Amino acid sequence: MKEIKKIAIIGSGFSSLAASCYLAQSGHDVTVYEKNPTIGGRARQLKMEGFTFDMGPSWYWMPDVFDRFFADFDKKTSDYYELIKLSPAYRVYYGIDDFITIADNLTDIIFAFEAIEKGSGTILNDFMAEAKSNYDIAIKDLVYRPGVSPLELITVETAKKVGQFFSNISKDVRKKFKNERLIQILEFPVLFLGAKPSDTPSFYSFMNYADFGLGTWHPKTGMFDVVRAMESLALELGVKFKTNSNIEKIIVNNKTAKGLLVNGETIASDLILSGADYHHTETLLDQEHRAYSEKYWESRVFAPSSLLFYVGFNKKIENISHHALFFDVDFYQHAKDIYDEPQWPKEPLFYANFPSVTDKTAAPEGMESGFFLVPLAPGINDTEALREEYFDKIMDRFETLTKQSVKNNIIFKQSFCKNDFVSEYNSYKGNAYGMANTLLQTAFLRPKLKSKKVKNLYFTGQLTVPGPGVPPALISGKLVSELINKQFSEQ
């Protein structure tokens, strides 16, 4: 009879939730330990004064990855939550009465491009055909690989695209399009991968297919629907959840992980899997058991941190769409302020979403819930005064660009910034979404799923493979579970 292994998982973000389901499905005794009072990690939910906010992710892209996750358990996404395709997908603001609306289908987007730059519609059509081909290869051949060996990247299909790994999105898009706005719209999707478009390989244009080809979706009552769905699947499979359970130490004996120190209590386990930030997990080990030095982490490109505001308005906001990008200032200067000369941006780009536009339960009747995000350099100095200064800056611009006054209609506001990413999630330098997918931080070049120093210790999540984002987190949980099961089957 197959031996049941006791597995402890640190953290309850999407990667841990996915792994918990796969490992329980394989018959293991799985317990998830989460330091915070609620599960979901960066995708937690905030409920205040009748308003509901997703605290982190809000763009539901790559629906096929979610479908594939649930199908692995003979379930359908629709068994757990309802998906709405957003129409329009989003709007990009450049000035007063000056915005581009991204439709929910490629035909209309091509039409919008053509209206802005003559000839660009046909070029976009060809660009999207290539992006789709990259997406198919990425999903079929690349992202579901564990990053163990460079050979994983070499397939007949990838060999044909090798040049795309050595050029970058920015260069590619600039070769094809002249209009700065169209260029920025095409550079936007790879920002989800955490690096500048000029540092992101061209092959990642598959994110453009995710954007224009597959569309932007919204779970009916927000991204937290996905957390709830995965929690109920995990419970069905027998996973146990322990919240308010801060892991203080990973106990190692004879170079083998033996258990955890949780709120001062020792818990024995056959195997430890951490979905907490990789760097933090290593600090739970004695120095000799850490695989990566501080110098290593220091030299990596991290995704930005963020200044976030969750805001309750006592009226409906006009002239907005569910997702809105405010690109009315210099895109490249802001990128420089994040990656090249880290500082608070003089003129910040920002992103906003208004879940109550789609989901009436997200705000009391006649009111609106608003989420505002300014990307910032990881490790930046974070003070209350700076948060306030930037709130005023973006509210002024928001009022001007959407032609209405809103500041006097704020009845609730909560901020979240670098210091909170550190204290709430033990995030390295307060990164919001992990380690970037640059060429040198892709696949086998990322921190490993399996510890190089400690037996029976594994990692998952946005600092390992495949990278940042909710769909990659689901994939990461699957990949690590496969490695763990492989180890058990070889014992």
Residue numbers of the site for ligand FAD (CB under 6 A)?
10-16, 33-36, 41-43, 56-59, 246-247, 275-276, 280, 306, 308, 373, 425-426, 432-434, 461-462, 468-470, 473
User: Cβ 225 to ligand FAD, closest distance in Å?
Assistant: 14
Does the bond joining 355 to the residue before it have cis omega, within 30 degrees of 0?
no
CB nearer to ligand FAD: give 310 or 488: 310
Q: Write out the DSSP string of 198-238.
A: GGSBGGGGHHHIIIIII--EEETT-THHHHHHHHHHHHHTT
User: Cβ 353 to ligand FAD, closest distance in Å?
Assistant: 9
CB 35 within 8 A of CB 247: yes
User: Cβ 255 to ligand FAD, closest distance in Å?
Assistant: 21
CB nearer to ligand FAD: give 56 or 345: 56
CB nearer to ligand FAD: give 189 or 312: 189
Say which residues have a Cβ less than 8 Å from residue 491's Cβ, sequence separation at least 6: none
Which residue shows structure tokens 């990461």? 476
Interatomic CA distance for residues 218 and 63, integer angstroms = 10
User: Cβ 17 to ligand FAD, closest distance in Å?
Assistant: 7
CB nearer to ligand FAD: give 43 or 124: 43
User: Cβ 19 to ligand FAD, closest distance in Å?
Assistant: 9
* 47: enclosing H helix or E strand: strand 45-48
User: Cβ 236 to ligand FAD, closest distance in Å?
Assistant: 20
CB nearer to ligand FAD: give 117 or 482: 482
CB 191 within 8 A of CB 351: no
CB nearer to ligand FAD: give 15 or 120: 15
Distance of CA 424 to the CA centre of its chain: 16
> CA end-to-end span of the chain, whole Å?
14
One-letter amino acid identity for 459? F
User: Cβ 472 to ligand FAD, closest distance in Å?
Assistant: 7
CB atoms within 10 A of CB 314: 15
Interatomic CA distance for residues 16 and 27, integer angstroms = 17
Burial of 411 per CB tally in 10 Å (0-12, 13-18, 19+) = middle
CB nearer to ligand FAD: give 18 or 110: 18
Say which residues have a Cβ less than 8 Å from residue 308's Cβ, sequence separation at least 6: 55, 371, 372, 373, 415, 416, 417
User: Cβ 253 to ligand FAD, closest distance in Å?
Assistant: 20
CB nearer to ligand FAD: give 62 or 173: 62
